[in-house]
Amino acid sequence: MNAAVIVFPGSNCDRDVEVALAAAMGKPPLAVFHKETEIPKVDLIVLPGGFSFGDYLRCGAMAAHSPVMREVVARASSGVPVLGICNGFQIMIEAGLLPGALLRNAQLHFVCKDVHLRVETAQSLFTTGYAAGQVVRFPVAHGEGNYFADEATLNELEQNGQIAFRYVQPDGSVSAEANPNGSARNIAGIFNRGKTVLGMMPHPERLSDPALGGTDGKAMFKGLVEALS
Amino acid sequence: MTSIAPEIVAEHGLTPEEYERCKRIMGREPNLTELGIFSVMWSEHCSYKSSRKWLRELPTKAPWVICGPGENAGVIDIGDGDACIFKMESHNHPSFIEPYQGAATGVGGILRDVFTMGARPIANLNALRFGSPEDPKTRHLVAGVVAGIGGYGNCVGVPTVGGECNFHRAYNGNILVNAMTVGLARTDRIFYSAAAGIGNPVIYVGSKTGRDGIHGATMASAEFSADAEEKRPTVQVGDPFTEKLLIEACLELMATDAIVAIQDMGAAGLTSSSVEMSSKGGLGIELELDKVPVRETGMTPYEIMLSESQERMLMILKPEREALAREIFEKWDLDFAVIGRITDTKRLVLKMNGATVADIPVAPLVEESPLYDRPHRAPPAPPPLPADAASRVKLSPTEALKQLMSSPDLASRRWIWEQYDHMVMGDTVQRPGGDAAVVRVHDKAKGLAITTDVTPRYCAADPVEGGKQAVAEAWRNLTAVGARPLAITDNMNFGNPEKPDIMGQFVGCIRGMAEACRALDFPVVSGNVSLYNETNGTAILPTPAIGGVGVVDDVAKTMTAGFKAADETIFLIGETRGHLGQSLYLRELAGLEAGPPPPVDLAAERRAGDLVRALITRGLVTAVHDISDGGLLVAVAEMALAGNIGATIEGSESPGWLFGEDQGRYVVAARDPKPILAAAKAAAVSCAAIGRTGGAALKPPGGKPISIAELRAAHEGWLPAYMAAP
């Protein structure tokens, strides 16, 4: 299997996700710079976390218009799986790959901490390593991760099983206290209709190594590689 | 040529004597641009004119020191061809005026000091001091500084892994924002700033030059009066995105052989960078200022030379590598301009539109900068504590503990560090909240332990003991995670050095620090001095902040403070005398800031630390925490909270035993008590079993238990509640 990690000038989690992918794939993914207009043939494209173009205005808004994104959108529409983490999720939304918006965190400041997530479905390329309803611990680190969409869109996401992860208590229950940023319905990550595109605010790559305090993220990369190999 | 009026000289912060010296060096009256250059180069901030004499007393050498003070940052050898490059620097004055941008650009500046030497920054830390929580400005300053540090570090993608934060009314008019960066390089790929190669091109890269920050170095070299707010236009604005590009572009270029010398433009911008590079190389430099990329039209030579616009670097390149370098910087969409060349004239020559606008001999500008041996007066020894001091606290040990744990200086800092991305780069092994942060060397088993420490109230009461204690505490915190302490950076924050009492504090702290550095083999490799931290004549507490770095061979074997299991034995290591002078117990619970600080016995410090490190290495202990602010019971409470396991402590019920702040002590937990006692006996370190872990509450001797949940609510509650209050 081959994967490409897109590198925007202000990406800063590109190396982190490359390390996690390399551990799962047994070889490093390709790094593709934002100025490229073509992406080699790959089985997975990853948009990593960071501050793509400084994100002084709307996060991801400029990155969505960078040359490489035209190709990412084209690949996604031809069915190539795309994973966006944190800033990657913000860019996906700005590029129209996923619905809704990511607003400033409800408490109005950046938040970096471990959160608990409930895996809402195991029926996707990205979540085969988990059981539906399983609670995992991933870190978040963002200032604009407050997921918003109108009621109709939210209902549609629920009906189509497009919600990948929700912020929950360690026991799996949904509560306002478990929600680190005010996201609608505690949504932490969503799929596109065909579940080939996943955008999520939490960082699975940050807890994929026992030395860093946990390995709950590892199953995502392992499951992805198994599903795509 | 303009004639310089005495008022103009005074406005530039030069004394009449200094101006005479300037004229002598020039052999004529300087023009305004030249005067500006002299004024910033001779400012306290750039010239260290009050502190240089004393800084020389600090030990700076050890077999593992590659580069000590004098370069952009200090460099130590951490084995396997790896070098650790680090420094701490203040951004106090700007942060008080404009907390977000002041703190943000402080982080940006210290990052540049480290990557300019060839290191990839891998960790940021900070040491913050704010005024009393009751002061009307404090909340706003805390919010702005924390957001600024996070805003910059998070975007650049360097984890902010640790720090410290205190509140005291002495900082009401002068907060302290000290930022530290730690980076990694290869020992054979370290870059220095000495210019070389006559005719070599001088390259400007990074952001464009604007009118921001003109005279920032001069501002940092004077006291504030009530008009501090009017100085807002001299605070620079940070652009962390450009900094990120600059890091990537510089490191990419540093992997080639193109660079002869490189220097960031920090305080005093283009002036100090060009003067330092030519001075260190013993050469001249000629700049064509009309080639400097500018953000605004009509900028004068004076403004271009004194601007402190951020995210800029100056490089000397091999001529044949210019095209390669240009290509790299264009890839990262950064300005790249050849603005001059290295000459053999030993003069700084500035041209604008073909005309010479300044012409200064470099060596005297640097070497003949003023050096003062300011009068200094050691403070009198603090009177002993009143005999009834301890009995003025009318609380049970349990109630005293609860109040201390929720007091401003001991309450959890979670509200602060959760706003910092402390995990990016994927190597943060010990996150904020412990004794020291531990960051792995990427792709290796080893790691660095990093901490920032100082106890200003001790320094105020007795500068020598306080100076010793600051160094010893950094050494102790590194030891507590299992690291071998290697070296420190110091950030000396003091009041007006022209006052003998303040200078006495400075001299005392330096002497105490020097003694501790020697006794602990813990040299100073870099540092920064921030003086004139006074408002309307009131000075801050003397605050020599210490940034300590140590190495661990295997990050999997580092130690943490949290209790790991029930039914383990808790030991107190080190000698307890019950010293309550300058303790938080008396300050917080009896309103008494009095007495001498706890003395530091450096030989005992070393014995206890070496014992604890050996116990960790041998796998004999399961939890380790040093005892500092708040004393023994606070340390045990922190271990209980971190592990979510209670404890029962047996021992004296005296406040001195429970809350005294005697130095050189640790609390450890172990499954098997026997080898701990045997090792302590062999090392001649006092060690006593003082209790057991277990349960959901902490029970002090003779007191009633307090549940972990209640303790946690008290400890975690104060700062968020304070910051949320209107």
Sort A58 into a burial class: Cβ within 10 Å, 0-12 / 13-18 / 19+.
middle
Task: Say whether B240 and A205 touch across the interface (CB within 8 A).
Answer: no
What pLDDT score does B1 carry?
Answer: 46
Q: What value does the mean pLDDT of chain B take? A: 95
- Please compute the mean of the pLDDT values over residues B133-154 and round it to a whole number: 98
| Digit-coded pLDDT (tens) for B684-694 | 999 999 999 99
| Segment holding B275, helix H or strand E | helix B269-281
Complex confidence, ipTM: 0.97
Task: Say whether A13 and B155 touch across the interface (CB within 8 A).
Answer: no
- Please compute the mean of the pLDDT values over residues B179-208 and round it to a whole number: 96
Enter the DSSP assignment of B222: S
Instruction: Provide the annotated active-site residues of A.
Output: 86, 203, 205
Report how far residue B8's alpha carbon sits from residue B213's, in angstroms, rounded to the nearest whole number. 19
Please, are residues B583 and B643 in contact by the beta-carbon 8 Å criterion?
Answer: no
Helix, strand, coil content of chain A in percent (nearest 5):
30, 25, 45
| Segment holding B90, helix H or strand E | strand B82-90
Enter the DSSP assignment of A204: G
Reported for B395-399, long-range contacts at CB under 8 A and 24+ positions apart, including other chains, are: B395/B589, B396/B703, B396/B704, B397/B633, B397/B653, B397/B655, B397/B658, B397/B700, B397/B701, B397/B702, B397/B703, B398/B700, B398/B703, B398/B704, B398/B705, B398/B706
Token pair belonging to B164: 């410290």
Task: Say whether A213 and B418 touch across the interface (CB within 8 A).
Answer: no
- Has B45 been annotated as catalytic? yes
Residue with tokens 């805390």: B142
What pLDDT score does B625 carry?
Answer: 98
Report how far residue A178's alpha carbon sits from residue A169's, in angstroms, rounded to the nearest whole number. 5
What pLDDT score does B220 carry?
Answer: 61
Token pair belonging to B543: 């605050």
| Digit-coded pLDDT (tens) for A104-138 | 999 999 999 999 999 999 999 999 999 999 999 99
Write the residue in B418, B426, B440 that is nearest to A206 by C-beta.
B426
In which band, very low, low, confident or very high, does the pLDDT at B147 lie, cut at 50, 70 and 90? Answer: very high
Task: Say whether B426 and A51 touch across the interface (CB within 8 A).
Answer: no
3-state secondary structure of B175: coil
Choice among A66-70, B40-44, B265-269, B520-524 with the minimum mean pLDDT: B265-269
With a cut of 60, say whether residue B464 has pLDDT above it: yes
Please list every residue in chain A whose beta carbon sits closer than 8 Å to the beta carbon of residue B644.
Answer: none
What pLDDT score does A80 carry?
Answer: 98
Please list every residue in chain B whose beta carbon sits closer than 8 Å to the beta carbon of residue A13.
Answer: 157, 424
Token pair belonging to B494: 């003091």
Residue with tokens 């301009």: B337
List, edge to edge, every strand of the sheet that includes B65-67: B65-67, B74-77, B82-90, B176-186, B120-130, B160-167
- Identify the CATH homologous superfamily for domain A3-228: Class I glutamine amidotransferase (GATase) domain (3.40.50.880)
Residue with tokens 């990205």: A126
Report how far residue B641's alpha carbon sits from residue B473's, in angstroms, rounded to the nearest whole number. 22
With a cut of 60, say whether residue B232 has pLDDT above it: no
List, edge to edge, every strand of the sheet that includes B447-453: B428-430, B437-440, B447-453, B543-552, B484-493, B524-530
Sort A27 into a burial class: Cβ within 10 Å, 0-12 / 13-18 / 19+.
exposed
Report how far residue A84's alpha carbon sits from residue A215's, in angstroms, rounded to the nearest whole number. 19
CA angle A89–A92–A95, rounded 5-degree value: 155
Please, are residues A168 and A117 in contact by the beta-carbon 8 Å criterion?
Answer: yes
Residue spans of beta strands (DSSP E) within B365-436: 428-430
Task: Say whether A211 and B440 touch across the interface (CB within 8 A).
Answer: yes
Token pair belonging to B306: 């004194």
User: Chain B within 8 Å of A114 (Cβ-Cβ)?
Assistant: no
Report how far residue B433's alpha carbon sits from residue B449's, in angstroms, rounded to the nearest whole number. 13
In which band, very low, low, confident or very high, does the pLDDT at B118 lie, cut at 50, 70 and 90? Answer: very high
Report how far residue B474's alpha carbon sits from residue B451's, in angstroms, rounded to the nearest whole number. 6
- Please compute the mean of the pLDDT values over residues B696-713 and round it to a whole number: 96
- Please compute the mean of the pLDDT values over residues B527-543 and round it to a whole number: 96
* φ/ψ bin of B536: left (φ > 0), alpha (ψ from -120 to 50), beta (otherwise): left
What pLDDT score does B211 carry?
Answer: 85
Q: How many CB atoms are closer than 10 A to CB A18? A: 22
Report how far residue A75's alpha carbon sits from residue A65's, in angstroms, rounded to the nearest whole number. 15
Please list every residue in chain A whose beta carbon sits closer than 8 Å to the beta carbon of residue B151.
Answer: 110
| Segment holding B66, helix H or strand E | strand B65-67
With a cut of 70, say whether residue B227 has pLDDT above it: no
Q: How many residues does chain A have?
A: 229
What pLDDT score does B212 carry?
Answer: 81
Distance between start and end Cα atoms, chain A: 5
Please list every residue in chain B whose beta carbon sits closer than 8 Å to the beta carbon of residue A9.
Answer: 241, 244-245, 248, 332-333
| Segment holding A33, helix H or strand E | strand A30-33
Site from A5, A33, A104, A112 to mutate, B interface, most B CB atoms within 10 angstroms:
A112
Token pair belonging to B104: 């943000």
| Segment holding B219, helix H or strand E | helix B216-219
Axis crossing angle, helix B500-520 with helix B463-480, rounded to the nearest 10: 40
Whole-model pTM: value is 0.96
Please list every residue in chain A whose beta carbon sits closer than 8 Å to the beta carbon of residue B417.
Answer: 112
Tell me the β-bridge partners of B453: B546
Task: Say whether A112 and B421 touch across the interface (CB within 8 A).
Answer: yes
Task: Say whether B426 and A110 touch across the interface (CB within 8 A).
Answer: no
Report how far residue A207's alpha carbon sits from residue A216's, in angstroms, rounded to the nearest whole number. 6
Task: Say whether B419 and A213 touch across the interface (CB within 8 A).
Answer: no
User: Chain A within 8 Å of B157 (Cβ-Cβ)?
Assistant: yes
In which band, very low, low, confident or very high, does the pLDDT at B214 lie, cut at 50, 70 and 90? Answer: confident
Residues 119-138 of A with CB under 8 A from B: none
Q: What are phi and psi of B416, to 5 degrees?
A: -75, -55
**According to the 3-state scheme, what is the secondary structure of B625-694?**
EECCCCHHHHHHHHHHHHHCCCEEECCCCCHHHHHCCCCCCEEEEECCHHHHHHHHHHCCCCEEEEEEEC
Give which of A120, A122, A9 is closest to A67, Cα–Cα: A9
Task: Say whether B421 and A113 touch across the interface (CB within 8 A).
Answer: no
3-state secondary structure of B123: strand
- Please compute the mean of the pLDDT values over residues B245-251 and round it to a whole number: 97
Token pair belonging to B434: 């412990």
Give which of B167, B213, B397 is closest to B310, Cα–Cα: B213
- For residues B64-83, one letter each, b for 16 or more C-beta atoms within 10 angstroms of the residue's C-beta and e for the rest, the string is bbbbbbebbbbbbbbeeebb
Per cent of chain B over pLDDT 70 is 97
User: Chain B within 8 Å of A110 (Cβ-Cβ)?
Assistant: yes
Report how far residue B10's alpha carbon sits from residue B20's, in angstroms, rounded to the nearest whole number. 12
With a cut of 90, say whether residue A197 has pLDDT above it: yes
Task: Say whether A110 and B555 touch across the interface (CB within 8 A).
Answer: no
Chain CA centroid to CA B219, Å: 20
Please, are residues B246 and B313 in contact by the beta-carbon 8 Å criterion?
Answer: yes
| Digit-coded pLDDT (tens) for B276-293 | 999 999 999 999 999 999
Residue with tokens 């770095």: B549
Task: Say whether A205 and B156 touch across the interface (CB within 8 A).
Answer: no
Write the residue in B241, B417, B427 that is nearest to A54 by C-beta.
B241
C-alpha to C-alpha distances, B96 to B131, B140, B142, nearest whole angstrom: 11, 10, 10
Alpha-helix residue ranges (DSSP H) falling in B444-548: 456-461, 463-480, 500-520
Of all residues in chain A, the one with the smallest CA distance to B249 is A9
Report how far residue A60's alpha carbon sits from residue A67's, in angstroms, rounded to the nearest whole number. 14
Site from B139, B142, B155, B560 to mutate, A interface, most A CB atoms within 10 angstroms:
B155
Our CA dihedral for B3, B4, B6, B8, rounded to 10 degrees, sits at 140
Q: Is the dihedral of CA B406, B407, B408, B413 positive or negative?
A: negative
Contacts of B63 (CB under 8 A, 6+ apart): none
In which band, very low, low, confident or very high, does the pLDDT at B37 lie, cut at 50, 70 and 90? Answer: very high
Please, are residues B653 and B587 in contact by the beta-carbon 8 Å criterion?
Answer: no
Please list every residue in chain A whose beta carbon sits closer than 8 Å to the beta carbon of residue B429.
Answer: 211-213
Please, are residues B463 and B505 in contact by the beta-carbon 8 Å criterion?
Answer: yes
| Segment holding A151, helix H or strand E | helix A151-159
Of all residues in chain B, the one with the smallest CA distance to A86 is B424
A–B interface: beta-carbon pairs under 8 A: 86
Please, are residues B566 and B694 in contact by the beta-carbon 8 Å criterion?
Answer: yes
Site from B145, B239, B241 to mutate, A interface, most A CB atoms within 10 angstroms:
B241
Please, are residues B306 and B215 in contact by the beta-carbon 8 Å criterion?
Answer: yes
Task: Say whether B419 and A110 touch across the interface (CB within 8 A).
Answer: yes
Please list every residue in chain A whose beta carbon sits closer than 8 Å to the beta carbon of residue B147.
Answer: 109-110
Task: Say whether B422 and A54 touch across the interface (CB within 8 A).
Answer: no
- Please compute the mean of the pLDDT values over residues A42-61 and round it to a whole number: 96
Q: How many residues does chain B have?
A: 726
User: Chain A within 8 Å of B446 (Cβ-Cβ)?
Assistant: no
Of all residues in chain A, the one with the smallest CA distance to B430 is A212
User: Chain A within 8 Å of B420 (Cβ-Cβ)?
Assistant: yes
Of all residues in chain B, the one with the smallest CA distance to A9 is B245
* φ/ψ bin of A172: left (φ > 0), alpha (ψ from -120 to 50), beta (otherwise): left
Write the residue in A35, A51, A212 that is nearest to B155 by C-beta.
A51
3-state secondary structure of B438: strand
